[in-house]
Chains A and B, each alone.
Chain A
Amino acid sequence: MNESKPTRITLEVSRSTAGAASRFDVPVPSATSRVLDALLYVRHHLDPTLGFRYSCRAGMCGSCAVVVNGKEALACQTAIGTLGTDHVRVSPLRALPVLRDLMCDMAPFFDTFKRSDAAMRAKEPDRKTLRTMPPGAPHRAAIEAQNGCLTCGACYSACEWSATRPGYLGPAAMNRIFMLSLDERDAPGRSRLATVAHESGALRCHGLGNCSAVCPVDIPLREGMQKLKGLLATEDLP
């Protein structure tokens, strides 16, 4: 696709109501136009009933995660020119129930955080703010490498187990548990590992790495999972 010349693409969007995909002929002003721009064009000019989510348009909120040409991505961050085709297929995230068109019910995804209790429980709960970890603090670098999750659900969608094994925790929740288990400010600390030390948790992960491949903020989820398994192999757990 030429950077400077406006062109047109065929945008194929999965529809929940029609039970099939709808195809739209969409103008693309430049190769850097985003998939979200194309979806917004459809909603504004061709089909106002098209359902999809978006919010920040800056790759920060994670609400526009969809599957673009078979791979999970943020619609607002995926430049149409990088797809290398004039036929763009957009479908909802996998492993989650579809509410309407490209909008999924994210409850099963967020439920994985609840089930694994993946929330910080501060050692010093009376402090107004969480204590800052100094640069030399043990494990700080390891935590930082895994930090920045948008909770967009792309990894959950790409994980082969999330779709096929009911109750599987998924990469995002287990990544959070890994970070918390290393965090010296967290009261449960390493005892959190027990929440993922089972066959619907880290023991079931085969390390295929689809989670890392689709993460829009490039968190090395597979590597984190391997480190988490390392902790599981050595820590004394109840």
Chain B
Amino acid sequence: MRAILSDLRLWRWQRYTALAAFPLVLAHLVLQYFFFGVDASTFAEVSARVKGGVILGLDVLLLAAVSAHGFLGLRSMLQDYARSSPAAGWITRASLFALAATFAYGLAALAAFLPAGIR
């Protein structure tokens, strides 16, 4: 566990998720503004889109990449102020917990758009 959460590994993941987030955010914006249109955002319309699977997959990847990048970046900034290894360790744990919670909440929010039969 310690090796999985090593500073180097988390630092690398912050970069990998930045690379992943870039095309995903771009795809999200293009789809939202040019393909679906900004006005097509009622519950029924979004639900119909998500039901297809591809959009749902993109949204899950976007959620994972952006929240991981954000919380790993926040961890890095908070650790600028950590003055001891235990403090740095707690910052890492808290950041990863917040990341997991955000991801779970995002999944639950996306699942709400799925028809009851699929959920």
Which residue numbers of A lie inside 8 Å of B, CB to CB? Answer: 197-199, 203-204, 232-233, 237
Contacts and interface: CB of A to CB of B under 8 A. Distances in A.
B15 interface: yes
> Which 10 residue pairs across A and B have the least CB separation, nearest first?
A197-B8, A203-B11, A199-B7, A198-B7, A203-B7, A233-B12, A233-B15, A199-B79, A199-B88, A237-B8
A203 B12 CA distance: 10
Contact of A197 (B7, B15, B79, B80): B7
Which of A197, A199, A204, A233 gathers the greatest number of chain B CB atoms within 10 Å?
A199
Interface string B77-91: 001100000001000
Contacts of B15: 233
A203 B8 CA distance: 7
Contacts of A237: 8
Contact of A198 (B8, B12, B80): B8
Interface in B1-57: 7-8, 11-12, 15
A233 B12 CA distance: 6
Contacts of A233: 12, 15
B8, B79, B88: which has the most chain A beta carbons within 10 Å? B8
17 contacts: A197-B7, A197-B8, A198-B7, A198-B8, A199-B7, A199-B79, A199-B88, A203-B7, A203-B8, A203-B11, A204-B80, A232-B8, A232-B11, A232-B12, A233-B12, A233-B15, A237-B8
Nearest to A197: B8
A233 B19 CA distance: 12
A190 to B, nearest CB: 14
Nearest to A160: B80
Interface in B62-96: 79-80, 88
Contacts of B80: 204
A122 B112 CA distance: 63
Contacts of A232: 8, 11-12
Nearest to B3: A238
Contacts of A197: 7-8
B24 to A, nearest CB: 20
A198 B8 CA distance: 6
A203 B10 CA distance: 10
B75 to A, nearest CB: 10
Contacts of B79: 199
B3 to A, nearest CB: 10
B70 to A, nearest CB: 17
A197 B6 CA distance: 10
